């Protein structure tokens, strides 16, 4: 099943099948002789009242895992292996595919592993996979979409997929996804949301202590509030990073630090500040040397991942036993499709206007506007007109014809484009040649969007977004690095907003609950909870949100890293070697454009806009490197 490793134990070996692993939670044999191995972590078993029973109950209720359609009843991040008596084995992951399974066909068989370093590609290399690389370079998240890798002939198991292996052959298995319609929620649902979030946090908490990766935003501070509400403040602490990327800008997140400190003081918890200092080359080079193996194995090429590594490293130095780290990622996407950070339209005098602009952006991907697209009436929509007027240099595709085709087009706009606007064209993506854009779009839509597009209605569009997120942003290198970097330091990081009951609730949450042009705030049920059910310092959520960009829209964190931090020296060196760029297929990637922006950067020019974003992803991928490159 995978290559032998001295760090792992042999779980089963028979008839050409070898299974090795670490983190075995449970193994059993049922009445028909089938053997099962469960590896990873389990939060609990979902009961009909929403409560998560202890993980130990799995040793009694194993039938839930023996039926692939019942695996979603078990909350966790795990791999399940089933060995049949007569026809090989099956491999499944949890309902959201929180653990990645990579697989590669070899002569006479198939090798699977939870990291690319366990597959032959790590020793032999491989030509680039155009679709996987194109997605990693052009869509926020800097990682291929779920079923892809950077390499030809190397695959990942998708969400709701299993793999059956028998006689040296493989078969992909699929568990059906059934979208749900929005429900006209009433006030009692606000209380239900609160109960579900408290349960998601309670079930993931540790008796040894709990750490919150704290920012100044609603998600992480709400987790802190819930932990204190549930357990008191004695075994709770918080950590935050101080961003000093360049001498010229100083501390880039002082607003965030000040608010986080005030929140920590309000709850009476310790706040540890970890330095995210990229001004000196030697410490950054040392960090790169530590994380490069993990990042290459998991296809992480995100600068955010460097921050996550340093946060985990700093947290581990002061860890107390089996503490659990809580992170608030996914809250933005689950509640408001990612539009909830006051960044859609800048206004120097009104935080309220900036929040409402976020709501307008999420409205454009919601059921009302989808209905207008299907009716061909979208050009008369005032919000659409406003956003298009503000995007005078942006190219938009013409609206296609037919309900299913329009649904597929809106899903492609959301998940396969960098622009985060309906009908945003791939012609805005200069990294790809015309042939590259066409191939990337056709293949990605065929694999991820075609089938589900036929199920889309205005009533179930939120449910489909939240399901597809698991194949795109939520498995990307700005989110998945949280769990991996924590594990690399002997810690566990949990993401309570990815709890299946929370996702189910938000999948059916109506547009009027802060997602559309109503007057409810973004993250409406969360903020209601913090006003009505949980003690929370709402008076502190005023003023600049986090970064210098909150008062100076021309400032970017990315610009400081690319042009004025010690990464500049590392990027120059990696780009001059050109190993990653030479690995790209010139039929699909525009080498003239790539050589132009790299040449300008190496001459010391400060790039901005799209050129800077493209340069940064090329530089970061060059820094992490690829197998065989």
The string of DSSP codes covering 13-71 is EETTEEEEES-EEEEEE-TTS-EEEEEEEEEEEE-TTS-EE-GGGGGT-THHHHSGGGG
Query: What is the mean pLDDT of the segment spanning 337-355?
Result: 84
What are the pLDDT digits (tens) for 137-150?
A: 999 999 999 999 99
- Kindly report which listed range (162-171, 337-346, 432-441, 611-620) carries the lowest average pLDDT score: 337-346
- The confidence score (pLDDT) of residue 6 equals 55
| Bigger pLDDT: 5 vs 32 | 32
pLDDT at 468 over 80: yes
The answer to whether 478 touches 303, Cβ cutoff 8 Å, is: no
- Identify the structural domains of the chain with CATH numbers, from first to last: 9-174 (3.60.20.10), 191-334+477-547 (3.40.50.620), 367-457 (no CATH), 557-624 (no CATH)
DSSP character at residue 233: S
List pLDDT tens digits, range 554-596. Answer: 889 999 999 999 999 999 999 999 999 999 999 999 999 999 9
Does the pLDDT value for residue 1 go beyond 90?
Answer: no
Q: Is the pLDDT of residue 546 over 90?
A: no
* Dist CA 406 CA 378 (whole Å): 12
Q: Within the chain, how many helices (H) and strands (E) appear?
A: 24, 18
Check whether 103 has a pLDDT greater than 80: yes
In this predicted model, what pLDDT tens digit does every residue of 277-310 receive, in sequence order?
Answer: 999 999 999 999 999 999 999 999 999 999 999 9
Q: What is the mean pLDDT of residues 219-238?
A: 98
Is 241 in contact with 311 (CB distance < 8 Å)? yes
Tokens of 512: 């009027």
What's the CA gap between 609 and 383, in Å, rounded?
24
CB 615 within 8 A of CB 430: no
| Phi–psi pair at 28, nearest 5 degrees | -160, 165
Quote the radius of gyration of the chain (alpha carbons, Å): 24
pLDDT value of position 5: 54
Across 228-247, average pLDDT:
97
- Burial class (CB within 10 angstroms; exposed 0-12, middle 13-18, buried 19+) of 9: exposed
Q: Is the pLDDT of residue 544 over 80?
A: no
In the chain, what percentage of residues exceed pLDDT 70?
99
pLDDT for the residue numbered 542: 86
**For residues 407-431, average pLDDT:** 97
Nearest to residue 123, comparing CAs of 148, 154, 100, 145?
A: 154
Cα 204 off chain centre by: 19
CB 119 within 8 A of CB 113: yes
Give CA separation, 567 vs 17, 55, 272, in Å: 45, 43, 25
Would you state the pLDDT for residue 3? Answer: 45
Whether the pTM exceeds 0.75: the reply is yes
Question: Average pLDDT of the chain?
Answer: 94
Whether pLDDT at 231 is above 80: yes
pLDDT value, residue 2 = 42
> What's the pLDDT tens digit per position in 393-403?
999 999 999 99
371 phi/psi in degrees, rounded to 5:
-60, -40
Query: Are the beta carbons of 261 and 271 closer than 8 angstroms?
Result: yes
> What does the angle CA 166 – CA 171 – CA 173 come to, to the nearest 5 degrees?
125
Q: Are 485 and 308 in contact (CB under 8 A)?
A: yes
Helix segments in 268-381, DSSP class H: 281-298, 303-317, 331-336, 351-363, 367-375
CA atoms of 131 and 556, how far apart (whole Å):
29
Q: What are 437's two structure tokens? A: 């854009």
Asked if pLDDT for residue 548 goes beyond 90, the answer is no
3-state secondary structure of 408: helix
The DSSP H or E segment spanning 122 is helix 121-124
Share of the chain above pLDDT 90, in %: 86
E-state strands within 187-320: 210-213, 236-246, 250-251, 270-277
How close are the terminal C-alpha atoms of the chain, in Å? 26
Closest CA to 19 of 34, 40, 33, 39: 39
> Quick one: pLDDT at residue 55?
82
Q: Are strands 250-251 and 236-246 parallel, antiparallel or unpaired?
A: antiparallel
């Amino acid at each position: 099943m995978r290559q032998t490793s001295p760090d792992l134990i042999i779980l089963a070996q028979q008839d050409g099948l070898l299974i090795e692993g670490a983190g075995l939670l449970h193994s059993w044999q049922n009445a028909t002789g089938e053997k099962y191995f469960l590896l990873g972590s389990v939060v609990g078993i979902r009961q009909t009242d929403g409560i998560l029973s202890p993980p130990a109950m799995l040793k009694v209720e194993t039938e839930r895992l023996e039926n692939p359609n019942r695996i979603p009843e078990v909350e966790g991040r795990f791999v399940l292996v089933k060995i049949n008596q007569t026809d090989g084995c099956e491999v499944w992951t949890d309902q959201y595919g929180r653990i990645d399974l990579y697989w590669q066909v070899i002569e006479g068989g198939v090798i699977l592993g939870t990291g690319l370093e366990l597959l032959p590609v790590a020793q032999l290399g491989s030509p680039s996979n155009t679709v996987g690389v194109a997605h990693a370079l052009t869509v926020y998240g800097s990682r291929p979409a779920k079923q892809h890798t950077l390499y030809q002939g190397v695959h990942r198991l998708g969400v709701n997929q299993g793999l059956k292996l028998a006689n040296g052959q493989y078969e992909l298995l699929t568990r059906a996804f059934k979208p749900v319609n929005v429900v006209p929620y009433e006030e009692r649902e606000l209380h239900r949301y609160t109960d579900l979030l408290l349960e998601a946090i309670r079930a993931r908490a540790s008796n040894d202590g709990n750490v919150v990766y704290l920012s100044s935003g609603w998600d992480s501070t709400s987790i802190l509030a819930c932990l204190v509400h549930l357990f008191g403040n004695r075994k709770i602490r918080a950590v935050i990073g101080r961003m000093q990327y360049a001498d010229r800008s100083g501390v880039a997140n002082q607003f965030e630090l000040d608010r986080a400190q005030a929140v920590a003081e309000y709850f009476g918890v310790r706040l540890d500040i970890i330095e995210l200092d990229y001004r000196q080359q030697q410490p950054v080079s040392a960090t790169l040397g530590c994380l490069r193996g993990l990042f290459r194995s998991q296809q992480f090429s995100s600068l955010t991942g460097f921050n996550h590594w340093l946060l985990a490293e700093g947290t581990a130095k002061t860890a107390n036993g089996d503490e659990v780290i809580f992170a608030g990622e996914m809250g933005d996407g689950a509640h408001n499709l990612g539009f909830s950070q006051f960044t859609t339209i800048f206004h120097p005098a009104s935080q309220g206007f900036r929040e409402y602009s976020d709501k307008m952006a999420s409205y454009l991907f919601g059921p009302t506007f989808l209905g207008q697209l299907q009716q061909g009436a979208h050009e008369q929509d005032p919000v659409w007109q406003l956003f298009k007027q503000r995007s005078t240099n942006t190219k938009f595709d013409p609206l296609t014809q037919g309900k299913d085709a329009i649904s597929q087009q809106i899903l492609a706009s959301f998940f396969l484009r960098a622009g985060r606007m309906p009908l945003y064209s791939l012609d805005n993506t200069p990294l790809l040649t015309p042939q590259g854009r066409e191939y990337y779009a056709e293949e990605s839509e065929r694999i991820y969007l075609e089938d589900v597009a036929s199920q889309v209605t205005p009533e179930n569009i939120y449910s489909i977004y939240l399901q597809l997120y698991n194949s795109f942003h939520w498995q990307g290198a700005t989110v998945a690095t949280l769990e991996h970097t924590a594990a690399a330091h002997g810690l566990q990081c949990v993401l309570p907003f990815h709890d299946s009951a929370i996702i189910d609730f938000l999948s059916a949450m109506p547009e009027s609950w802060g997602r559309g042009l109503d007057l409810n705030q973004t993250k409406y049920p969360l903020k209601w909870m913090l006003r009505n059910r949980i003690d929370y310092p709402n008076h502190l959520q005023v003023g600049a949100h986090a970064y210098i960009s909150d008062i100076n829209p021309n400032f970017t964190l990315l610009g400081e890293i690319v042009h004025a931090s010690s990464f500049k020296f590392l990027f120059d060196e990696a780009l001059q070697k050109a190993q990653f760029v030479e690995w790209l297929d010139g039929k699909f990637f525009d080498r003239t454009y790539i050589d132009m922006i790299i040449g300008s950067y190496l001459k010391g020019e400060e790039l901005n806009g799209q050129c800077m974003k493209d340069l940064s992803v090329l530089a970061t991928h060059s820094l992490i490197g690829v197998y065989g490159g």
